[in-house]
Structure 1
Amino acid sequence: MIPTLLKPIADYVEANVKLDVDGMLKPFVVLDNGGHHEGRAELRTLFEEAVIPVKVIFTPDTVRHENGPVVVEGLAHGDLKGSPIRLTYRFTLENDAIKALEITA
């Protein structure tokens, strides 16, 4: 069962299911995925190079709040080695936007 997610997180997840880069970018301010990616151009490049070619779809199955960040866990599947992979997304939200996101396996 997919948990209830806050709107910017739900918007990101919904766009990811469609592999819609513009939709994935919409709720973001900053993303940290093993490196700092700031601004829409850097995030677009990251999504276009790391998500879209291998069709990575994240399906959340748990959500919890940790003194600020919203932690969402689930499986990511696609055309990548070891698929599906269990990932943890740590969302920092600000003013109905994703201020920061850290993704770990």
Structure 2
Amino acid sequence: MLTKEELDFLDYWEKNSLQQKHSTRPFMIGLSAGFVLGISLIAVVFSGWYERANMVANSRLSSFVFLLAILGISFFMAFMYRKFRWETNEQRYRELLARKKTLEKKEV
């Protein structure tokens, strides 16, 4: 027998799976995670803890290219996080649906 939480999830996902596929909330969470990664990368580069890497970055790396790369990484992480969350929920939904069907067959 499925728990109430699992049955609630089945009902919720059946109604909202397409909305969640294009939702902005997981996208924004992934985007913020990407920006945190980018800001930490900027902090590491400009902290100067590794002098040689700092000198190479300052001589060869354009600030515009660096910021563009961080922006690209952020949007990539946002897209992948949203897709990962949707796929995880879809997998859970299919597993619960299969388990529900097998339980119904056993009861009959």
TM-score > 0.5 by shorter chain: no
TM-score scaled to structure 2, two decimals?
A: 0.23
Rg larger in structure: 2
* Greater RCO (CA < 8 Å, at least 6 residues apart): 2
Whichever structure has more helix as a proportion of its residues is: 2
Normalization by structure 1: what TM-score? 0.24
